[in-house]
Each structure stands twice: as C-alpha cells, then as structure tokens.
A and B are shown apart, each in its own frame.
Chain A
Amino acid sequence: MKGEILIKNAKLVDGRGEHGQADVLIGEGRILSLSGGEASTVLDATGKVLSPGFFDPHAHLREPGQEVKEDLQSGLAAAVRGGYTDVVSMPNTTPVVDSAEIVRALKEKAARLGRARLHPAAALTQGQEGKVLSEARLLREAGAVMLTDDGRTNEDAGVLAQGLQYAASWGLLVSVHAEDAGLRRGGVMNEGAVSFRLGLPGNTGYAEAARIARDLEILRYVMEGPGARGLQPGRSLLHIQHLSTRRGLELLRQAKQAGLPVSTEVGPHHLTLTDEHLESLNPIYKVAPPLRTQADVEALMEGLLDGSIDCIGTDHAPHTQDEKELDMLRAPFGIPNIEVCWPLLYTELVGKRGFPLPTLIERFTDGPRRLLGFSPVHLIEGGEASLVLWSPGEERPVEPHTFASKAKYSPWAGWVLRGWPSVTLVEGCIVYLQQENR
C-alpha cells in the first residue's frame, strides 16, 4: 500500500485503550493501514505514542480586536504545539463574536493558516449583554459550534432559559461561566484561609455552586418542566465551563445521575495548582474561577476519572506581560496554557498519580468531541488522520520564552514535564513538527 506519511514503531493509545505498536500509514487524510506500507515521508516514532489529536472546547484566541494578547496565527500555532488539532475559540473579543459574518471570517482565516482547525463559539446574547438572544441558526450555519457569554456570567435566569430552548432547537450547546456575581463580589482569589491571611478580596467556591444549582434548575425547567418544548437533544444541552469546586461537582454528578443533559470541563490549572500558590502574591496565578484548595483538586481529579467531568478545556487565556505585572487587584484574570496542557497533565496525573492513560486521552479527545456532536477520532484503519505523536520519555522544563503563544509567561515555568508533543497532523497534513522550533 502506498501513502503519504508512514509513522513507524508508534505505540497506539486512544480513548478506547492501548492498542500496541504499529506502523501507521497515512494518506488522503485518513489512516490507510496499521501494518505499514510505502510512503514519501517516513517518521520514526520509536519510544513515542500516537494518539488522536486533542480537542480544546475552550480557548481565548483574542481575535478580533485583542491581537496584542494573541491572534489566530499565534494561538493556533500554540495549539498544534500542544498537540491540539481542534480549538473552540471564545467569543468575548472586540467586537464580540455574535454575527455570522465574524464567525465566517474567523473560520476562513484559520483555514488559510493551516494549523489547528478552528470552531468558533458565538455569543449566547447579542454583544454578550445578557439581554437579546443572538441568531443561533445563522451562527450555526456559519460554523459556530456553541453559544456562550463566557467572560461574563448570565445573570438573567429567564434569558438563559430562553437561550437553552432556542439554541437547542438548532443543535447548539450552551456553555456558561457559572459564578454568582453577588457572592463573588470583587473577589480576586479563592475565599479561604489564604485569602484571609493575605488580605485579598475572596471569591467563594460557593459562588460557583450556587450558580450551578440555579442553572441546573433552569435546565430541568427546559427539559422536564412547563418550559419543555419537545427538545430531545440526545447530548449535552448545558455545559458548565471550567469547573473548580468539589461542591459544584457534587451538584453536577447528581444532575447527571438524574438524566439531565449537562456536561462540564476542567482546566489544567485547577488540577495542578491551589490557592496556596497565591502566597507568592504573583498575579500570574490570578484566574477566574480562582485556584481553589487541595480538597477541590482531589475532587476534580475523581470527577475526571469517573466521567462526571466530561473533558479537559484549557481556558487558555493569554494577556500581555505588562497587564500580568499589574497588582493583584488590577491584573486581568487568565493563564496561558494550551502549549503545556498535555505534558502537564500527563506528568502530574498519569506519571505521578497513576491516572489511567486512555482515560486521560479520552478527556482530551472523544470527550470534547462528543459534547459538540463531532464523531470521535480513533486509531483504526479508515479513521481520520488528525493525530498527535508525543514523547512520554522526553523530559524538559517549561520554558515560556519558547512559547508560540504571545503570552510568554507561565505558572508552570521551570516545571519539568514529560509527554511533549513532537508531531501534530490534521487530516493527514503535518501542522507541527517539533524540530522546526528547537
């Protein structure tokens, strides 16, 4: 058999499990064979693992309007270096992504760049103002994959209910930043022993739980109550972004057991950092929702393991160095992480805690794809060749100055990680090859 790329001696692991070693022949955008063949390009993958490309359901790529922080070129280059073949971009840009024209323009530009595939999320409400619903059907036709007012919280419960009803009828997931604004107050870090000691305004984890409880009741109203409009989504309808608390997880677990179509994601920082890191008083750790306690981290780890948490979303949120060097009250919220997310979680979860590798891969691949109605990418003959080759043995420290992202700082700077991606392919095309950068 003749193909374009032959990946020799790769260990295959996808969300279904480990499948031994194979010579993977790729052509016409697909996996032609798992037993070798001839190809014009041959990659020796000895000691490396081949997995489906990662899918990020939550990244801030800052275009249009905030290109000084990040743009599609730098953001999608960062994504492929992180092993991502697909990225959902958040709509809290300038202007807000709330029209079919902007969605189309973003998709076209991303396609020209030829890095990771871009799936824009659009605003749930026009201008993200929380009042008038955006044009879900037109947005869907233009290529939007979810609706969200992320960056803001949906204060008006009625608008969220209508948004769920309307978006669902066009097959769109509604994704929410769940934090009660009143309880959150002006909090800049987790409210708890550390915030009390440091004298920084706290944002209680119960602000998240309280809002999740409200949103679950809204979902129940839309699914089972008099708000039901014959919707049978068959997959998640309401998605809770960047879950950070044990209590929030408990509420979601109960709701899922009760059959509500709800899903959630967790970010790499909420799995590896706690509010103790704020002891340094360094705004690099300032993120919304804030870093919580070790007990929350443990709970999230369990939720990720048992499937109560559907997937990993990076919430990659780059800012300029100058902004991040403001003080704790004024620095913006957000951590850039898309380039380190996989090696970080591979090292910390699989390497140090024995988290099962196929499960972690599932949360990076099938999990997010399932939420958004994309079919899974599996390592089978005929399967889509959107893949990542990564090195479980290659150890190196996080060096932010080498990031493709414009945000060249990281809370994990200096952490020695394993599992760095070395090749990323989208539909059979190499979109990242490690050597080009090192």
Chain B
Amino acid sequence: MSQSATPAFPKHLLDFRDWNRTQVESLLETAQMMQEVLSRPVKKVPALTGFTVATVFFEPSTRTRLSFELAARRISADVVSFASATSSTTKGETYKDTLRTLDQMGIDAYILRVDAAGVCHQAYAWLQKPIINAGDGWRAHPTQALLDAFTLREKLGSLEGKKVAIVGDILHSRVARSNAELLPMLGASVVACGPATLLPGSLPGASLTTDLRAALAEADAVMVLRLQKERMDKGLLPSLPEYVAGYQITEERLQWAAPRAPLLHPGPMNRDVELEGTLADSPRSLVERQVANGQAVRMAVLYHLLVGKKG
C-alpha cells in the first residue's frame, strides 16, 4: 500500500461533499487490496495497530455495526462500541454529552449512526476527529454507496455511461441520496423511481420518475430499497398490496432492464414486498456480494482516514 500517490483526503466521511473522483477511486483501489486480504487464510493486517475506533450507534443496526467492527479488527484496530436502543436524548443525555465522554477515552475515529440528518456534522465540529457516517437519518450512508459502487464496478467494469435505477422509498432513503451523490461522480447516471408520495421533489444527481417501466428501461443495474411498513401509517401509501402491484421488482419486470442487469439491495430485505423472493436468490442478485464487499470497503475507509491521510 504505497502512500506516495495517495491524494490528501478529507478527515471525515460525512457524505461526499468534500470528496472528489480521484479520492474516491483511490479509496476503491485500496478496497480492492483489502479484499485480497480477506481472501487470505489469516484475514488480518497490522495497518491500524495502536489505533482505537469506536462504533457509536444511537440507531440500532446489528449488520452495519458488525461489518464496521470486523473491518476495524481485520486491520488491527482496537474497537469499542456504544449502542443505545433508544436515543440517548430521551434519557436526558445529549449526543454531545455521550460523544464528549467517549472522547475522554482516547478514541481515534468514530463510526456514528443516528436517526437525524446532520449529527455526524455536529460530531465532527465537536470532536475534530475522523468521523465516519454510518447512516444519519434520511440523509447519507456513504459507506453503503461506496460498497454499492465497488460491487457494481466488480460486475460491470467501469461505471462510465452506465444507468443505475434505484426503486422504492426514495424520499426517506439515505442509501438513495448517497448513491445519487456518488455514482454520477464515477460516470454513471441515476434514475430514482417510486410512488409520488415517496419521491422527493428533486434529488441532485438523479432524475425522478413514478414510471417503473421508464426507470428500468435500458438500466444496467437495479437497486431496490427496503420499504418501511410505517409508511402506510403515515398515509404515504394506501397498502402493501398496492405497493407490490405498482413497484415490486419481479422476474417479469426485470426484463425491462438491460439483459442480465444485476440486482442490488442494501438489506435487510422484505422478501416478496419490494422484491420477488426468488429473485433475491437468483444469479442476478448481488446482495451477498454487497455484504462481503462492505467489509473491504470499510477497511479501506478506516485505513484512509486514519493512516492514509498522512499522504
């Protein structure tokens, strides 16, 4: 891992506002090397020996937390974790208090997941330490977008000129927002599709449509989002069957996309809601590959923020 060619990186991964294409590509290259590490019998390198990383999850997500913690350990960082099922603010303790307290313990980087947009930015302002956004409300989930891009490049080669369709609840999706930020940076076009009540009025980096057939037409890849059942309670959708009838990705509808267009899903999946169950297990599906790549990408992110920044 030569550091000479590494561009100066932002000290955080809050979103991609402060990142450029060169930096992202160099990160994805590092992820490739990390993937090689993961294929070895001993899946560990000493890159982050002596560093301590904290996962701080105010919003529960076992999968994401596990992926980050394994990633950190595989590059020899010490890991501490703080998880709170309910928001600490409901217990009268603010995010700031919690983070400040943790910061007295000599932590070098924070992996932060919260239910509100912007907390990761606030955390960076408070702590001035590397912060990795592991999901903040509806706003951003940059490592998910990186692993999606990594997985797509693995499958499609370059993303230049490729069309990616994102289908589902775009309005409340941090995955959609981060992908709409990242994929166009790498040369892809993004079309976001869902029922009108689940679409934002605009989304930079993506075109919007309620027409599934138009969204899928010629798409080189289809990304399906998880549908939160509480959207029904909020009056945004009449019923699940109504959604399934209009927007479920089925074998049949997938024919509208480019031949052999792969299928992605950030998980966890509602089988037979947003996606026909059999499709999830079909060769078209990259879901398992996404999970595996998630670790390599997160190793690369930690490496770049903690060590690579010297370059």
Residues on A facing B (Cβ under 8 Å): 191-193, 196-201, 280-283, 322, 325-330
Contacts and interface: CB of A to CB of B under 8 A. Distances in A.
Top 9 nearest A-B pairs (CB, nearest first) are A281-B118, A199-B138, A199-B139, A196-B200, A327-B116, A329-B116, A327-B119, A281-B121, A328-B118
Contacts of A280: 121
A192 B201 contact: yes
A198 B140 CA distance: 8
Nearest to B97: A322
B226 interface: no
B137 interface: yes
Contact of A330 (B89, B172, B177, B202): B89
B174 A327 contact: no
B94 interface: yes
A196 B201 contact: yes
8 contacts: A196-B171, A197-B203, A199-B140, A281-B117, A282-B118, A325-B94, A325-B122, A330-B89
A365 to B, nearest CB: 39
Interface in B70-98: 87, 89, 94-96
Interface of B: 87, 89, 94-96, 114-119, 121-122, 137-140, 171-172, 174, 177, 200-204
Contacts of B177: 197, 199
Nearest to A182: B235
Residue among B94, B118, B139, B200 with most chain A CB within 10 A: B118
Contacts of A327: 89, 95, 114, 116-119, 122
Contacts of B139: 198-200
A196 B202 contact: yes
Residue among A191, A282, A329 with most chain B CB within 10 A: A329
Residue among A201, A282, A326 with most chain B CB within 10 A: A326
Contacts of B202: 193, 196-197
A199 B201 contact: no
Contacts of A192: 201
Nearest to A193: B202
Given A281-B118, A327-B114, A329-B115, A199 B95 contact: no
Residue among A199, A200, A330 with most chain B CB within 10 A: A199
B116 A193 contact: no
A325 B115 CA distance: 15
Contacts of A281: 117-118, 121-122
